[in-house]
Structure 1
């Protein structure tokens, strides 16, 4: 059986980097939720996980995730990652700009019986909007 760290790294390689999205079916618990997305109210489990990655790939078709740090304590895994990609789809009402972006984030993931069951993510969305040429403080 994989460690939670190995499972999480495989999820990023296979699902988020697009090599094998169906890997979520074996690594994500059927009741999986993410605590910072509106979509979580509509979906759960592997379908939610795959939908999040797919929706993000529609906005950034060439996106790649690079994991910088992984720290585990029992069934909880903290990860620091950076997503890079080209803005090709609408995001927060911003039409595609064609700009290259970097989005750093810190995430906590809880596993149960070897499967990912919940995630909390904090990403630099303010910085992302700035890279897209949007002033998030303007009204």
Structure 2
């Protein structure tokens, strides 16, 4: 799975694809149907690649990539991201067993489900992740 160029931007809904860099910051393209391009200045905005995001676990952190892979392989239909907290929590217990229920909030689960729904039909699951750069 290759999610290296996909990012979440603090304060902005949805997901973005990193497409370039200029003097003002990074150039992003939204992954929703509008395909809007914008520039983000990293000195004022936080950005995280999906590849680097983890979820609190009872023992170890759970990589978001692993949750997405489990969702894809299970073939389960995701609940509506606007469903009540109990429905989301029950679903997430199946998909991410061992997550720390006291630190993973319903809002986190909603965000993960909405992100998955954005990327599930993209060819990202078939692409291999690039090898890490050796120094």
TM-score > 0.5 by shorter chain: no
Q: Which of the two has greater strand per residue?
A: 1
TM-score, scaled to structure 1: 0.24
TM-score by length of 2: 0.25
